[in-house]
Structure 1
Amino acid sequence: MGSYDGLLLLPGTVRHMDHERTVQRLLGEKLAKLLGCPFLGPHQAGTQIRGHHYFLPEDTMVGDVAALGIDGPEDFFGGQVEHAFLATKAISHPSLDAPRHLPMGWSERFAQQVESVTLQGFSVFDLEDAAEAGQRLLHDGPIRLK
């Protein structure tokens, strides 16, 4: 754990409810105290970050975060993934056998590992694939769509 110039909140891409933002702020204040650095509040998009900061993202960070000055997992409290879909439940179900579209970075590996503890389902990224998946699932009874 390095010495930090301050702790910054990283606002997410989705507008969160006020109570969620309050909890995030309180968590940021407590983390800053534990780290022995000032709590600086939310980072303003478009402003340059100078110095070495600790970050508390509202959402899982996606892609390369080095531009923020994040050198590794020791510089933030939260998650970071290479592709946005990895931060969702989509990874818990396999794709169809011959999908029309899969996002870059897609892997069936996790879905295979958790198959015995998840409900039957598919992750699809195309309307025609969704229709096919729905038909296949309806064959076995009622379904739940997300």
Structure 2
Amino acid sequence: MMLLRISIQQERCVGCEICELTCSNVNFRTNNPLKSGIRVVKVDDKVGYDAIICDQCGICASVCPVGAISVNNGAYLVDKSLCTACGICVQACPIKAIYFVPDCKAPFKCISCGACVENCPTNALTIEESVR
């Protein structure tokens, strides 16, 4: 199965968080980094920044007891109408890339839309195809 995923080149990331704001604006119509499918984190002064982004591994889908997570347009998506907000997917994610955001019933994750890639001023983000 062909999936799309966002990857980061750490050495290019300056921690500006434009990717977070872009994601929250595109997906929630707000400039709130807490409502973003990408999280920029400072690793340390030597390494700089990294990003927590869903790698489309599918673990969340495999543990969802109601089948609310499935592949659509090349990425795992949460169907809010099926999700019971049990949080099992959030607990199962090995990289903590799916989480609850303020004022939302269902958990949120990167949907590989590419908006962050288009708006990254340092070209630190790319969208890649992967086969699972």
User: Structures share a fold, TM > 0.5?
Assistant: no
> Relative contact order: is structure 1 or structure 2 higher (C-alpha 8 Å, sep ≥ 6)?
2
TM-score, length basis structure 2? 0.26
Using structure 1 for the length normalisation, give the TM-score: 0.25
Structure with the bigger percentage of strand? 2
Bigger Cα Rg: 1
